[in-house]
Amino acid sequence: VGDFISVNNVTGEVLSIDLLSIKLRTIDNIYVRIPNEQLIKAELLNLTRFPIRRIPISLSISYKEDISKVRALLIEQADKHPLVLEEPRPQVIVQDFANSAINLSFNIWTRKENVIELRGSMQEVIKHAFDEHRIEIPFPQITINSGELAPLSLNIQPSVTQKHETKPT
C-alpha cells in the first residue's frame, strides 16, 4: 500500500489489497479496481520500489552538430540541476542515425519523488541550452535527387488570384 505501480496500462498508487482485487488511484485521481486474477497474469511494474529512478529523455540533433559538444552540454546542464543526482552519473547515448537526425538518449537519475517534476523541467533546460548554443533540433526532411549531376532549376512564380465580381440580380 502506498507504492505506485503499473498494470495493464493503468498506473497509480496502491490504496488497498484484498482477497479479490487491488485498488489504485491513478495520477488523474481515478479509482481503479484490478482483479487479482488479472494481476497474476499481467506484468506488474513497481515504480517506487527503489529510492532512485532513471529518467530517459529522448532527443534528436542535426547531423551537422558535434556529438561530443552536445554530450558535454547536456551533462553540464544535468550537473547544474538541483534534482539530478550526482551518482549514478548522467549519460548520453547515441541511439541511432535516423533519416533526418541523430537520436540520443539522455539518462539522468533522481529520487523517486522528483521524477515528474524533473522530467518536465529538464526538457525546458535542454531546449533553452540548445537555443543558446544554436544546436539544431531537426524536423523530418526529404532530399530529392534527380539523378543528374547538375542541380535542378526551380522557377517559382507568384500565384495569380482573380476577383470575381458578382452583379446583383
Retrieve residue 38's grid coordinates: 488479472
Contacts of 57 (CB under 8 A, 6+ apart): 105, 106, 107, 108, 119, 122, 123, 126
Contacts of 105 (CB under 8 A, 6+ apart): 56, 57, 58, 92, 93, 95
Q: Where are the domains positioned within the chain? A: 4-46, 52-132
Note the pLDDT of residue 142: 72
CA angle 18–22–26, rounded 5-degree value: 145
> How far is it, in rounded angstroms, from Cα 55 to Cα 107?
6
Note the pLDDT of residue 144: 74
Note the pLDDT of residue 162: 55
Note the pLDDT of residue 41: 92
Note the pLDDT of residue 70: 98
Contacts of 19 (CB under 8 A, 6+ apart): 36
The class (CATH top level) of 4-46 is mainly beta
Note the pLDDT of residue 145: 72
pLDDT in tens, the chain (169 residues): 999 999 999 999 999 999 999 999 999 999 999 999 999 999 999 998 999 999 999 999 999 999 999 999 999 999 999 999 999 999 999 999 998 899 999 999 999 999 999 999 999 999 999 999 999 999 877 777 767 666 667 777 777 665 555 566 5
The architecture in CATH of the region 52-132 reads: 2-Layer Sandwich (3.30)
Q: Which residues of 117-151 are buried (b: 16+ CB within 10 A; e: fewer)?
A: ebbeebeebbeebbeeeebeebeeeeeeeeeeeee
Note the pLDDT of residue 139: 85
Count, in order, helices (H) and strands (E) of the chain.
3, 8
Identical fold at 4-46 and 52-132?
no
Enter the DSSP assignment of 67: H
Note the pLDDT of residue 14: 96
> How far is it, in rounded angstroms, from Cα 111 to Cα 78?
14
Retrieve residue 72's grid coordinates: 558535454
